[in-house]
Chain A
Amino acid sequence: MALTLTINSSSPPLGALLAAEHVKTSVKVSVKEGKVTKLHVSDTVGFSDVNSMTRYLARVAPGLGLYGSNMLEQTEVDHWLEFSACHLCGALGSSLGDLNNALALRTFLVGHTVTLADFCVWGALKANGDWQAVENKAKDFPHVSRWFSFLASQAPFSSVGDRWATEVASVKANAPKE
């Protein structure tokens, strides 16, 4: 089974790219650039939403535990996927405070290893202009800052960040203000 992930490089789905990078040892996923973001599963089935793509990738590689290791953790992962889609796109408002509290006693968002929750929340933050503005003021959200830079230093995050996120930043910088 060969999967193809086509991505729109002006707004790359960072969460899905991170998931693809993590599962590539057990599933073959090829990444191509194109006009619209889509994960092609078969001739008739494809996913275009970041959360659907990451969920599918985690499920075809169950051995990696990217979807948590029990039902409670799966539910927590779902919570963070929704959080990343609803509260981390556009103005951040109180979401950073909530995220900071959640990370106070945690190294990873769910369980004791990296999961989809980390991919999607990290990806959404990385692409968010509001976060880039506060990123260097670590004092305001110490736990988010620690978690964010810890993940950024880990192998798949650093390669995905270097390859794709710089493009997001340059596109954002050139885009006219709304």
Chain B
Amino acid sequence: MALRELSSLEKFLGLKKPHKYSTQGVKKVPLLQSNNGPALVGLATIASHLAKEAKKPELLGTTPEQRAVVQQWLEFRVTRIDECPREEIRTVLKDLNQYLEDKVYLAGNSLSIADPLLYYAIHHIVVDLAVQEKERYMNLTRWFDHIQHYPGVRHHLAPVVVLRNRVYTSCHH
């Protein structure tokens, strides 16, 4: 899955020539053999490298704080989402939902590389959510809908139908 994701990310970044990736170990960690130097291992590492290669360093954050936040969410994706047992995913969604209440993007007011990567990671979860659940995690849903419509992000994934008006307003206020 990580490999399709990296090829979508390459297209989003506007990289013309696709890279060849391989995988390592039982967990299928992606590996990129670069022409000038040692191999790069791991999704977050390769993704950051691609952003620099595409000359879009602003996607890694523009201020020191923003750069730290972007790295934080890349790590969150790899450790919390990818490693998350199925029964605990609701807790993660709840935390994300709360975090996104006052934000349009993960790192504040501009898109970073963390947004498409987190979107790719939770797509299979959001696809299965019931209408009611999507509304329970409405900040997450809003962010998800915005990212899936962001030009050039979606690629290999199916669009998820998201209601844009609230249906269950009276239930939780």
Using a CB–CB cutoff of 8 Å, the interface residues on chain A facing chain B are 101-102, 104-107, 112, 138, 142, 145-146, 149-150, 153-154
Task: Name the residue of chain B whose CB is nearest to the CB of A103.
Answer: B142
B169 surroundings in chain A (CB, below 8 A): 101
User: Which residue in A105, A142, A149, A153 is a CB contact (below 8 Å) of B164?
Assistant: A105
Whether B103 contacts A104 by the Cβ 8 Å rule is no
Whether B101 contacts A105 by the Cβ 8 Å rule is no
Which of under 10, 10 to 19, 20 to 34, or 35 or more describes the interface residues of B? Answer: 20 to 34
Given A150-B109, A154-B109 in contact, is the A105-B102 Cβ separation under 8 Å?
Answer: no
B142 surroundings in chain A (CB, below 8 A): 104-107
Complex-state Cα separation, A104 to B173, whole angstroms: 13
Complex-state Cα separation, A146 to B143, whole angstroms: 12
Given A104-B142, A105-B141, A105-B142 in contact, is the A142-B166 Cβ separation under 8 Å?
Answer: no
Whether A101 contacts B166 by the Cβ 8 Å rule is yes
B63 within 8 A of A: no
B162 surroundings in chain A (CB, below 8 A): 105
Task: Name the residue of chain A whose CB is nearest to the CB of B162.
Answer: A105
Task: Name the residue of chain A whose CB is nearest to the CB of B141.
Answer: A105
B145 within 8 A of A: yes
A104 surroundings in chain B (CB, below 8 A): 138, 142, 166
Whether A146 contacts B146 by the Cβ 8 Å rule is no
Instruction: Looking at the assembled complex, report how far the CB atom of B45 sits from the nearest CB atom of chain A, in whole angstroms.
Output: 30
Instruction: Looking at the assembled complex, report how far the CB atom of A140 sits from the nearest CB atom of chain B, in whole angstroms.
Output: 13
Task: Name the residue of chain A whose CB is nearest to the CB of B146.
Answer: A107
Task: Name the residue of chain A whose CB is nearest to the CB of B101.
Answer: A142
Instruction: Looking at the assembled complex, report how far the CB atom of A56 sits from the nearest CB atom of chain B, in whole angstroms.
Output: 27
Whether A150 contacts B164 by the Cβ 8 Å rule is no
Complex-state Cα separation, A101 to B170, whole angstroms: 12
Contact with A along B157-168 (1 / 0, CB 8 A): 000001111100
User: Which residue in A101, A142, A153 is a CB contact (below 8 Å) of B102?
Assistant: A142
Given A101-B166, A104-B138, A104-B166 in contact, is the A112-B146 Cβ separation under 8 Å?
Answer: yes
